[in-house]
Structure 1
Amino acid sequence: MTSARTVLGPDEIGRSLTRIAHEILEANHGPDDLVLLGIPTRGAHLAQRLADRLAAITGDDFGARVGTLDVTMHRDDLRGRPTRASAPTRIPAGGVDDRVVVLVDDVLYSGRTIRAAFDALADLGRARIVRLAVLVDRGHRELPIRADFVGKNLPSARSEHVSVLLAEADGQDAVTIEDAAPEATQEDRA
């Protein structure tokens, strides 16, 4: 692959998450009944960061309202590629029934991961409202799915690879974009 170009640094990621936290509160008319479910790996880290920002804004304890949602077994491409180890699903106390669930992921691309998240969430209960927060929306949707809260709209070519790097998993905060190697398949690109 060619050299990656940084499109968001640590400060921009921080500002994006703070803005998303405010937008979540505004759309929900406050913190009542909010649950954040991050899609592992980086979506889980982003959900925790959003919970920290929501707590700072509202004074409420959001630690008990953040969890993870493993979508691996709900993916529609299991036959085409091996399953990958993921973090287990961890649902906050009180579950998801009749609550406002904000799914959190790092990059929205085809929409297939989010479709799998809807299926996984339905197995857990019936949320009153489901919303989607992503750090990056790069377009190229294959399913009619859109994010409610977006940190950065990043128009990209299908041949490009968008990477979200977070300190918790990668040792640094950055969003990068680079041309993919010609032999890379669609499944290899985020």
Structure 2
Amino acid sequence: MEKKHVIMDDAAVSRAVARISYEIIERNKGVENICVVGIISRGAPIGRRIADKLGELEHADVPFGTLDITPYRDDVSETTGDEATDIPFSVTDKNVIIVDDVIFTGRSVRAAIDAIIKRGRPRSIQLAVLIDRGHRELPIRPDYVGKNLPTSHSEKVKVSVTELDGCDSVAIYG
């Protein structure tokens, strides 16, 4: 597939993370009882950035963890344990912010919700995504969106993050 268009550069990604962080603070009236869980792989670094920004803005420590959703997916026949998951805090009675890079069909988010609920009973589960490209197959809607990006089914959206790819960007391939 060839790159069609770069949608977001590093500055745009940074602004989206900041905006999402402010929206989380506003909706939750601060960061008390908030924890952030990033879906592996690109949701994790974005989630870390959001947790750090929340902490910076509110002068508080915001718990952060990473979640491997592979064992909870409905489109994977054989699964292993969730060894890559690292949630070093209780989610019980917390407002859990799940972070992913792109929401498409909603199946990854459903798997993430199952994985979180297996670990305890959160007060609420909220969803933050960098890109919402539509085409949902499940009744799942993000609470916080960096950018809505209508796409066709044949197009691919690639999110690059500095931590894994050496730069921040969002591009459409087709």
TM-score normalized by structure 2? 0.95
TM-score normalized by structure 1? 0.87
Among 126, 129, 132, the residue aligned to 2:127? 132
Among 65, 71, 74, the residue aligned to 1:73? 71
Q: 1:109 to 1:27 in 2, by over 3 A?
A: same
Unmatched runs of 5 consecutive residues or more in structure 1:
180-190
Q: 1:45 to 1:130 in 2, by over 3 A?
A: same
Among 94, 99, 108, the residue aligned to 1:99? 94
Residues 1:9 and 2:5 aligned together: no
Among 118, 123, 126, the residue aligned to 1:123? 118
Q: Is the 8 A contact 1:41 1:87 kept in 2?
A: no
Residues 7-156 of structure 1 correspond to what in structure 2 (within 5 A)?
7-62=7-62, 65-79=63-77, 88-93=84-89, 95-156=90-151
CA distance in 1 between counterparts of 2:10 and 2:79 reads 31
What do residues 113-142 of structure 1 show as CA deviations (whole Å, max 9, x unaligned)?
A: 001111111110000000000000000000
Q: Would you say how many aligned residue pairs link Structure 1 and Structure 2? A: 174
The one-letter code of the counterpart of 1:131 is Q
Displacement after TM superposition at 1:152 (Å): 0.3
What do residues 6-30 of structure 1 show as CA deviations (whole Å, max 9, x unaligned)?
A: 0000000000000000000111111
Aligned identity (percent) is 45
The one-letter code of the counterpart of 1:90 is D
Displacement after TM superposition at 1:89 (Å): 1.3
CA distance in 2 between counterparts of 1:25 and 1:128 reads 16
Q: Secondary structure at the match of 1:140?
A: coil
Q: 1:87 to 1:178 in 2, by over 3 A?
A: farther
* Runs of 4+ with deviation above 2 angstroms: 82-87
Displacement after TM superposition at 1:92 (Å): 3.3
CA distance in 1 between counterparts of 2:33 and 2:9 reads 32
CA RMSD across the alignment: 1.6
